[in-house]
Structure 1
Amino acid sequence: MSDASTNAGAGNGAAQTPVQPKMNILAQFIRDMSFENVLAQKGAKGETKPDIQVQVNLDARKRQTEGQYEVVMKLHITNKSKDSGDTLFLLELDYAGIFQVENIPDEQLHPFLLIECPRMLFPFARRIVADVTRDGGFPPLNLETIDFIALYRAELQRRQQAQAAAPATGQA
């Protein structure tokens, strides 16, 4: 009988061993990109003080294959002159990755897809932005690192506020 209890204890210990999360990047690509050099189109010359604004949106969706997800990082970058407010350039980039994700609990999948996956894509998107701005006649724009955790939390808070406001407006 001691053998059975020893085996049962070993079985319980093996069952409690955590399974390690696994992620593979299967592909990454530019889904859409647009660069407008407004400064050159207007024929403007001279030194300008840039005011660069970067907007980041993230999207994730499940693919038909089990465990595969497509994550898209959408960057909208506007460079305006601090002096005149005129737009110097506009860059829009949708950079996507296809990920194979395994052993992630369902309650952790959403934050994983919108934090860890974009973190893996970001260096490549940053390089594209730098190359495109340089090739477009401007100094290369080297984006600062994006805090995807803060971005995720801000989006959750925005959604909660929108849900809290929705019933109030629906009853009025």
Structure 2
Amino acid sequence: MMRWLIRAMALTLLLLVAVAVGRHLLAPVPPAPPVPLPPLTGTIDLIELDKSERRLTVYRDGEALRSYEVALGPEPEGHKRRQGDGRTPEGEYRIDRRNPQSAFHLSLGIDYPRPQDRARAAEAGVSPGGDIFFHGQPNLLPHIERRAGDWTEGCIALTNAEIEELWRVTPIGTRVVIRP
């Protein structure tokens, strides 16, 4: 009887060890932390924004160097027609100003409205709007990493760390292509 009890206890202990080891081996492995990207250096010559994908990609000599997820305005579909429509313009532009005192961390302005944008707005009897920027998060919300959803008034928002990186490598005159 004693041998049977010792065997039962040994089998129970062995079963418990096997279950513990099995749980350990079958437990989901947490993903590895992301590998930090090397900092961008030099300058870029193209910023390309795909509005439908909410994806901004920067290039140098035709090579994509980095992509960022962005937020747009509340009405992102279609070309900007007038001030206050919540849209981001579409087409080809240039970086024409840098604002280190922006209300949105840092900002890089584009040369919207172009003459054709002004003419189209004049025909409709409205203002084309202006002040379209790539910018960071609102300075009034210093503790957020990324404000959720589309929330700008037609600008293109990145995280503060992303706009800092973009700021460092983007000279005045950089070509900007904004696709639908």
Higher helix share: 1
Higher strand share: 1
TM-score between both structures, scaled by the size of structure 2: 0.28
Larger radius of gyration: 2
TM-score between both structures, scaled by the size of structure 1: 0.29
